[in-house]
Amino acid sequence: MKITDRLKKPDKLFSFEFYPPKTMADAEKLFETVKDLKSLGPDFISITNSSSGSAPYRTVALSGVIKEKLGLEVMAHLTCVGHTKAEIKAITERLKAMNIENVLALRGDIHNIEDSPPKREYRYASELAADLKEIGGFTIGCAGYPEKHPEAADFDADIRALKEKTEAGAGFVITQLFFENRVYFEYVEKVRAAGINVPILPGLMPLTSYNQLRNFTKMFGVRLPRVIEENVSKYAADKDSLLKFSVEYASHQAEALLKNGAPGVHFYTLNRSRATKEILKNIR
């Protein structure tokens, strides 16, 4: 099923995100996680790509295996800044051969590309979305940044970039993670005021380690409420207590999002099932 068709239904949507494993042991753990979460009946799962797109076929292969073996609807992430248009076309042909019809169109991190800029055929995710629309056969999603993309000059420029992606063919948005719901709803207001009317799925992830707290604030510029900083620091050496706090916080966050109009929730799982499973059980 295409995600845009699913979003037309009145009931809330739930989805999970995974990344391709690097080792056989990691692959076995991932499939156990996916099987465990399948029992919760997600509407779709998404498979990430490397930020530079250097190993797209791991994403393609994993997407195809999960759809075929586990019967789950899959959305493959596709980054473009490190690819030629011919390479993108070849990747989409493989996706179609595996009956994958949902794609998240992403730019990818420029600093991970070794080639000089003139050799690149893509600059923005909007260009990839336009090509995917022309190729046909896919529902296209894109990323949104409730606290602004770190590289955007300002919020207005970031919203303009989002509008370019939706006008090029993206039919829904999945947000970067955030920890204060007002950030999401203020973002939706800004997006709607700009004339962007596609569904905006909030992306959530419970913090399960102190290292995550440091990494996410540094990488994504995500603001953390004091209660999260205090409790993550407090339970840094107590994994069970930290998991309990994080699950409770994310559960309340998800409940409030859904109650106030969010079309569903997209969970960043980090290839683990326990926290996501407990949160979804709580909110259901």
pLDDT in tens, the chain (284 residues): 899 999 999 999 999 999 999 888 998 999 999 999 999 999 999 999 976 666 778 899 999 999 999 999 999 999 998 889 999 999 999 999 999 999 999 998 776 555 555 557 899 999 999 999 999 999 999 999 999 998 999 999 999 999 999 999 999 999 999 999 999 999 999 999 999 999 999 999 988 777 777 777 777 778 889 999 899 889 988 989 999 999 999 999 999 999 999 999 999 998 989 999 999 999 98
What positions carry a catalytic annotation? 17
Domains of the chain: 3-283 (3.20.20.220)
**Residue 227, SS3?**
helix
84 within 8 A of 121, measured Cβ to Cβ: yes
Q: What are phi and psi of 137, to 5 degrees?
A: 95, 0
Strands 44-47 and 13-18: parallel
Helices within 98-180 (DSSP H only): 125-135, 155-168
Contacts of 148 (CB under 8 A, 6+ apart): 154, 155, 158, 221
Kindly state the tokens that stand for 116: 């000089």
What the block records as the tokens of 221 is: 């510029």
* Full-model pTM: 0.94
